[in-house]
Amino acid sequence: MKKSIAIIPMSLLAAALLIPSVRAYADDNPPGNHRQREELRRDRQQLEQLRQRRNREIREGDKREAREYNEKIRDKQREISGDRKDIYGDRDGWNRNGHDRDRHDRN
């Protein structure tokens, strides 16, 4: 019982220590303008919707439709890559840890 009670204060302490350090990484003046960032955000949402539709077509067994969605997904990924390059420069899709942001589901 005492261990479970001790976990709560330790969790709160850890959260209190992490919040200020996370804020230190926030950029007050992010690259690109607001319109560019909004467009990139919309494109990412559209990409996710395309992936969901493709996955639904795969589940339903319609491979032809799934292939068409794959083409749309590749086009949208290229568009996002170009937009990201315009906003962030040569880093094109790589975050600070060196991981590709959209690589998790490239089919």
Over residues 9-18, the pLDDT tens digits come to 677 777 776 6
Q: How many CB atoms lie within 10 A of CB 84?
A: 22
Q: How far is the first Cα of the chain from the last one, in angstroms, to the nearest whole number?
A: 49
* 3-state class (DSSP) for residue 100: strand
Over residues 12-54, the pLDDT tens digits come to 777 776 665 555 555 566 677 888 889 999 999 999 999 999 9
Specify the pLDDT at position 87: 84
User: Do 102 and 47 form a contact (C-beta atoms < 8 A)?
Assistant: yes
Distance of alpha carbon 45 from alpha carbon 22, whole angstroms: 25
User: In sequence order, which ranges of 26-103 are alpha helices (DSSP H)?
Assistant: 34-60, 63-88
User: Do 51 and 73 form a contact (C-beta atoms < 8 A)?
Assistant: yes
The verdict on pTM exceeding 0.75 is: no
